[in-house]
Amino acid sequence: MISQPELIDLFEYKEGNLYRRRSIAGWPSGHKAGCLHRSGYVQVRLGNVCYQLHRLIFLYHKGYLPTYVDHMDGDISNNRIENLRECTVAQNNRNARVKKTNKLGVKGIRQLTSGTYEARIWKDGKRINLGYFPTLAEAKEAYEINAREIFGEFARIA
């Protein structure tokens, strides 16, 4: 694994990107490091190891590499150090965006066949039922209040 001093020796950080300080493996100095992977993350190959750019930027600034690094705004292309924070897998999941397969486009809500809406939230592997509501807006409000209370700064509403 690469160390912070090695990383600082190889790259310069500017606005969420790393730029090569000198020519390396055919890439000229000043060249932006990394390429877009199909996962949506920018990856940087150093020797025989591929690193996600946001993890290298965290190491570059903080001097250590945690198990998980979270993009606070949920935008995986925003690798500015101000947008990155250490987290647990649970915190990272709490800050996840609404899944594309979510029919309502709202986290924690499902529509029942009766036409009412059930709000629920998961904490420590357990589902907490927040109640049944006649409108989507009321169910969403219940989820938002509880998510902010339970998850704090890692609560992502939409």
Instruction: Summarize pLDDT for 46-102 with one digit per residue, the tens.
Output: 888 999 999 999 999 999 999 999 999 989 999 999 999 999 998 988 888 888 888
pLDDT(158) > 70: no
Instruction: Summarize pLDDT for 5-27 with one digit per residue, the tens.
Output: 999 999 999 999 999 998 877 77
Collapsing DSSP to helix, strand or coil, 130 comes out as strand
Report the distance separating Cα 54 and Cα 60, nearest Å.
10
User: What is the dotted CATH code of the domain comprising 4-87?
Assistant: 3.90.75.20
What one-character DSSP code corresponds to residue 135? S
Give the predicted TM-score (pTM) of the model: 0.81
What sign has the CA pseudo-torsion 107, 97, 90, 61? negative
Domain boundaries, the chain: 4-87, 98-154
Give the pLDDT of residue 111.
Answer: 94
Query: Hey, what CATH topology would domain 98-154 get?
Result: GCC-box Binding Domain (3.30.730)
